Amino acid sequence: MGVPTHCPYCALQCGMSLEPGPAVAARSFPVNEGALCRKGWSATALLDHPERLRTPTVDGRASTWDEALDAVAARLLAIRAEHGPDAVAVFGGGGLTNEKAYLLGKFARVALGTAQIDYNGRFCMSSAAAAGLRAFGVDRGLPFPVTDLAAADAVMLVGANVAETMPPLVRHLRRARDRGGLITVDPRDSATAELAALRLRPRPGTDLALALGMLHIAVAEGHADKSYLDARTTGFAEVWRVAAGWWPERAEAVTGVAAADLRAAVEILAGAERAYLLTGRGTEQHATGVDQVTGWINLALSLGLPGREGSGYGCLTGQGNGQGGREHGQKADQLPGYRSITDPAARAHVAGVWGVPAESLPGPGRSAFELLDALGEPGGPRALIVFGSNPAVSAPDSARIHRRLSALDLLVVADLVPSETARLAHVVLPVPQWAEEDGTMTNLEGRVLLRRRAYPAPPGTMGDLRILRELAVRLGQPAERFPDEPEEVFAELRRASAGGLADYSGVTYERLRAGEALHWPCPDAAHPGTPRLFLDGFAHPGGRARMRPAEHTGPAEALTPDRPLWLTTGRVLAQYQSGAQTRRVPELATEMRVEVHPDTAARAGLADGDLARVVSARGAFTARVHCTTGIRADTLFAPFHFPGEQRANLATHPALDPVSRMPEFKVAAVRLERP
């Protein structure tokens, strides 16, 4: 019998079993019902890959672990002594286990004393998290189990191509699809849109105008749930003052979506007994991402969906531990339990668990892009430690970030393969993979899962938790302050999260091993967990959701005669994140392609299969042209998984949302040309 565990990729965290070989076998689990996507089935292919890192290196030379850790600690101490604690920074990842994310945040703030810590989840969920927190008082991707979607009559997916990014989720959309209730909002006819009864294809960057137009229709044409609005929300009058000016024809003129289609979408959602509105990266990764998500939340609230059994609003978290990764301290402004780092009570509680004075904890640091952009600059960090991320590929305006990474006095990367960021590092620390260690993850529905060790880690690797412990001791910390056994770290995480919004204190390895389905909050050992939030009220005082007005302003840059097309980026089925892992799996081999409408390609003198350059004000990348009529003629689509001259993020815009600090990945003014 194999070892029951979970897929290392997206936030569904599909159940699987690991067999000798190594090999993957299907396992019945609610979110995937025994199904896996191509990435899941091939997940063990990297375990014995010839490019696995197995020996630490210092300045390009192989070293022992003691030599490498001694070198890192000595250089960190020297940089900190000369430039202060904030001259050292830490960058984490949404794929790290809860234990790693927790200990990484503790290491930064206690062992290093730095405020400069953030993670790549800032590029993923931050806009939806900020909007959800403001509206509902709690940020949990789906405040209901994935399986609830299976009974839906209508589902609207906004900027979410789940058929490629989390294929097993499609199994839960069959009822809505078969009843003609599946709606997609996407400037291209993605694999998900091809399943939909109604496809809305707005101009990139106009999602908020679309949401406002739909809200106008809902209210003006009698679809709004007035009794729900009166009983369960505040702020509707202010929201309506904005939406009143977005009559359907105005929304059509801005978005390019026909007013008749807007009406049809509202009628489908309002007429369904069980309806869900789900948002994804397409509507979040904008310099106005928080406002755009707020617009969709306002629409969902106006229709009475959130906090109603059988209906709801949710955000489809992307990375494997995108939910847990932002709850336990690797985000610049948060402490474990989803506590604010500026809250005196939160600081006192966490400091008490850590055994340090509350005043010793630093305040909030720079957000992810701002942190990366400050590297090596006057007043910025001189050293960076990276766990579980590849910002050389994943950050916007990536040539600029490549220069910043190259300017560091010390770059330390813990990784399992030589990622593009690891190739720039002064010190590389080889770590085990997901199937070679224990730990917990939290999936998109807030369910805490136990990932089990199935195979021994290769000789020469060292676990992330032990690396943090060894470095902490070399930096002067007592060894007992930094445990390196996952279950011991999780026990401390439980205490640190107790009483917070994301309260894990009742979750134990013992309960997880026994197969209990534990969704946070779970405040004590007798608590069954909370699979469905908001049924009895939202998490604000008084129990009401807070609606906030949001006005459409558009992208951070405009089209010009020299750059007349919109570039939007995203994911494809066979690849994941920066591609450092999936690009090395033969079964997942794919080519970098840019989707182009045939008329647009012809105007640039290009045909299907030609190589092309996509040029923005920041840089250019190359890709092979894939002509399709399933994309708007004013829009190009490119995946961001590829390195070198194929990096789509060479062209993306680093403008940041003022609240979430999310970069504008989804809209950049570009031109298409022959190379």
**Cis bond upstream, residue 22 (ω within 30):** yes
Concatenated DSSP letters for 403-462?
HHHHT-SEEEEEESS--TTGGG-SEEEE---GGGS-EEEE-TTSEEEEE---SPPPTT--
Average confidence (pLDDT) over 288-302: 98
What is the pLDDT confidence band of residue 440, given thresholds at 50, 70 and 90? Answer: very high
Residue with tokens 């940089």: 79
Concatenated DSSP letters for 212-253?
HHHHHHHHHTT-S-HHHHHHHEE-HHHHHHHHTT--HHHHHH
| The predicted structure's pLDDT at residue 581 | 95
pLDDT for 585-634, tens place per residue? 999 989 999 999 999 999 999 999 999 999 999 999 999 999 999 999 99
| pLDDT above 80: residue 65 | yes
Boundaries of CATH 2.40.40.20 in the chain?
Answer: 565-673
| The predicted structure's pLDDT at residue 513 | 97
Average confidence (pLDDT) over 223-252: 98
DSSP E strands in 326-399: the ranges are 334-335, 339-340, 383-387
**What class does CATH assign to 126-316?**
alpha beta
- Encoded tokens for 267: 């009628």
Identify the three-state secondary structure at position 570: strand
Residue 137, Ramachandran bin (φ over 0: left; ψ between -120 and 50: alpha; else beta):
left
Percent of the chain with pLDDT over 90: 99
For residues 568 and 240, give the distance between their C-alpha atoms in angstroms, rounded to a whole number.
30
| pLDDT above 90: residue 672 | yes
For residues 405 and 389, give the distance between their C-alpha atoms in angstroms, rounded to a whole number.
13
Percent of the chain with pLDDT over 70: 100
Asked if 198 contacts 264 with a C-beta cutoff of 8 angstroms, the reply is: yes
Options 3.40.50.880, 3.40.50.740, 3.40.640.10, 1.10.3720.10; which CATH number does 57-123+321-519 get? 3.40.50.740
Burial 256-276 (b: 16+ CB within 10 A, else e): bbebebbbbbbbbbbebebbb
Identify the three-state secondary structure at position 548: coil
What is the pLDDT confidence band of residue 396, given thresholds at 50, 70 and 90? Answer: very high
Asked if 308 contacts 233 with a C-beta cutoff of 8 angstroms, the reply is: no
What is the pLDDT confidence band of residue 470, given thresholds at 50, 70 and 90? Answer: very high
| The predicted structure's pLDDT at residue 318 | 85
Largest CA distance in the chain: 71
DSSP state of 19: E
What is the pLDDT confidence band of residue 32, given thresholds at 50, 70 and 90? Answer: very high
Asked if 270 contacts 132 with a C-beta cutoff of 8 angstroms, the reply is: no
pLDDT for 537-594, tens place per residue? 999 999 999 999 999 999 999 999 999 999 999 999 999 999 999 999 999 989 999 9
Concatenated DSSP letters for 58-96?
ETTEE--HHHHHHHHHHHHHHHHHHH-GGGEEEEE-TTS
Mean pLDDT of the chain: 97
Return the number of other C-beta atoms located less than 10 Å from residue 376's C-beta.
Answer: 18
CATH number of 565-673: 2.40.40.20
Q: Which amino acid is at 229?
A: L
How much of the chain is helix, strand and coil, in % rounded to 5?
35, 20, 45
| pLDDT above 90: residue 186 | yes
Least confident of 25-29, 218-222, 349-353: 25-29
Average confidence (pLDDT) over 310-336: 94
| pLDDT above 80: residue 233 | yes
Q: Report phi then psi at 660, rounded to 5.
A: -85, -20
- Encoded tokens for 328: 């336990």
**Cis bond upstream, residue 663 (ω within 30):** no
| pLDDT above 90: residue 174 | yes
Q: How many CA within 13 A on the CB side of residue 27?
A: 19
Boundaries of CATH 3.40.50.740 in the chain?
Answer: 57-123+321-519
| The predicted structure's pLDDT at residue 589 | 87
| pLDDT above 80: residue 1 | no
pTM over 0.95: yes
| The predicted structure's pLDDT at residue 134 | 98
pLDDT for 363-377, tens place per residue? 999 999 999 999 999
| The predicted structure's pLDDT at residue 504 | 98
For residues 623 and 487, give the distance between their C-alpha atoms in angstroms, rounded to a whole number.
45
For residues 402 and 662, give the distance between their C-alpha atoms in angstroms, rounded to a whole number.
19
Boundaries of CATH 3.40.228.10 in the chain?
Answer: 126-316
